[in-house]
Amino acid sequence: MAKHLTADDVTAIINIIDGWRDEKITWEQLCDASAQVVGKKPTRQSLDGNTQIKEAYLAKKKGLKVHAPKTALPSSLNAAAERITRLQSENERLKAKNSELLEQFVVWQYNAYKYGLKEHQLNEPLPRIDRERTEQ
């Protein structure tokens, strides 16, 4: 039976993707690199089935096509260069995700207007959860 990925595993795999330095990234290479972090080599399907990992993978693959990896820096700057590369990749991925969320917000805003919802209705707080009461 395949091991399910925890939230920590997903975060670690996304960090691997963000820090990817090769000219090309494949699912098989990612599975191999993830084996050290997860403890067991995950399948391509389990990585592809997680939307966060899939989005990060596709963004990195697209970024590698547009921006080829930079030339190697002196060894004293390798750690800094890797961190910069990882942060730039993460920044691009988060910008894309933010853009998707803004598009979703525009759709919700239009639908709220279309169906006559008022701003105070949309801003109502969530109902309080009474955890000591059980219904039978």
Give the predicted TM-score (pTM) of the model.
0.56
Domain annotation covers residue 73: yes
> Whole domain around residue 97: which residue ranges?
7-121
Domain annotation covers residue 127: no
Domain annotation covers residue 112: yes
Domain annotation covers residue 1: no
User: What's the DSSP call for residue 19?
Assistant: T
Domain annotation covers residue 16: yes
How far out from the chain centre does Cα 9 lie?
Answer: 12
Q: Report which of 83, 101, 86, 92 is spatially closest to residue 13, judged by C-alpha positions.
A: 86
pLDDT at res. 76:
63
Domain annotation covers residue 134: no
The number of domains in the chain is 1
Task: Tell which wins on pLDDT, 69 or 52.
Answer: 52
Domain annotation covers residue 130: no
pLDDT tens profile 69-109 = 565 555 667 788 888 888 999 999 999 999 999 999 999 99
Q: Dihedral through CA 38, CA 27, CA 67, CA 10, nearest 10?
A: -30
